[in-house]
Amino acid sequence: MINYELFYAKSDNTISFIETKIKKSDDVGVIIAAIEVIKYICSDIGEYRSFRIHKKFLRLLLDCMKKGVDDRIRLAASEAFTYAVTYLDEDFTFPAQRDEIMATLFGILESSNEKLQLSALSCYAEVFCVCYDFCEQYLTEEFILITTNVMKTTTNEFLVRTAVEFWNTVVSSDIETIKMNEKEKMSYRRVIYYSKKAASIIVPCLFELLCLANPDDDAWTFPDSAAVTLKSFVHLCSNELLGIIITILTSNWSENRVERREATMHFLGIVIDNCGPSEIDTILQYSFDIVTKLCKDESLRVRRRAYEALGYIYWNHNQYARDIEKTKKSFNIAFDETLDDPKLAYSRLWALGHIIEASYLSVTENSPERPETLWVSCYFQRLFEMAFESLNL
């Protein structure tokens, strides 16, 4: 912890000392050490912050991040800048300063140095959180394409994950602003919808990352981050993404590679679980037959994801159970398969449970009367047996 009383008593001397070391030293190690001091002060100063002090620190960091400076110094400065972003409110109200800050960050992002790109994405994420209202002009197509290029070409898994999670931060900022407006009716804040501007480019990229998922990897990986970010995009932009969603589904479900068929069903489950009611009918029009076919796929991994997608249909949209013929088809597909694997058994029973629940809800939603029977009632004994068998797999 920093001794704040001592720091403020000697602040002019401290700032002058740091400034001298950064501006006049020829030793890269000394400059980086001085930048590290700024980082610790910015990260630890809390309510003791001083605008005057941080104004000088911000200037020093920006100068160290410029093109032409040693990459080691740029990296240290951009990492420190992530902590200094908290104090950008004042600077971001002035267009000239705002432009300089964002141009400097963009210069870091477009570097071929992956460590610099990683640091830049972390800075951008912080900027979008703190200065949401001022970032619209900086979310250019060039910027979006740089982030997608990172996701497509780099072999650095942590960098890919950081790029994916940056976009999750952007969508979450839109969602939080909407929620805040709903809660605080008297203090409306403009929703900029950054996510809608980028969705058509980012979502296909995220789908490609789903195709790289390793089912045997228990660690959190970039395909996991891609799945979470897809949920956010679909939740907010399902109408804008409708054409892209249908294209992804129809183009990939019959691919020879198991990974792509599995990712297609994973993607569909995410879409069904997060899209709006106005889009679901169109999506199911294209995807219902695909789901039922892939529930019988030769790959266990594909079947498991297909059963999950089938369950999401009836879990989120129980009115779909009114189509008795399709619902019986769904039920029989899940019901007739053998219990050949514990993971598959869970997915099948999960889907069956939601099909049955949706069937019941579709009958009772317009009437308080409990039905004497359902078409599924004759299967109950076998369902109990299946549940018991699954416990012994």
Model confidence at 184, in pLDDT bands (50, 70, 90)? confident
Tens of pLDDT along 197-225?
999 999 999 999 999 987 666 778 889 99
Tens of pLDDT along 330-345?
888 887 755 556 778 8
Q: What is the DSSP letter of 152?
A: H
Amino acid 84: pLDDT:
85
Amino acid 318: pLDDT:
84
Amino acid 375: pLDDT:
67
Amino acid 108: pLDDT:
96
Please give the Cα distance from 203 to 321 (Å, whole number): 30
- For residue 158, with 0-12 CB atoms within 10 Å meaning exposed, 13-18 middle and 19 or more buried, which class applies? exposed
Please give the Cα distance from 325 to 69 (Å, whole number): 68
Domain ranges of the chain: 1-104
Q: How many Cα neighbours within 13 Å face the side chain of 287?
A: 29
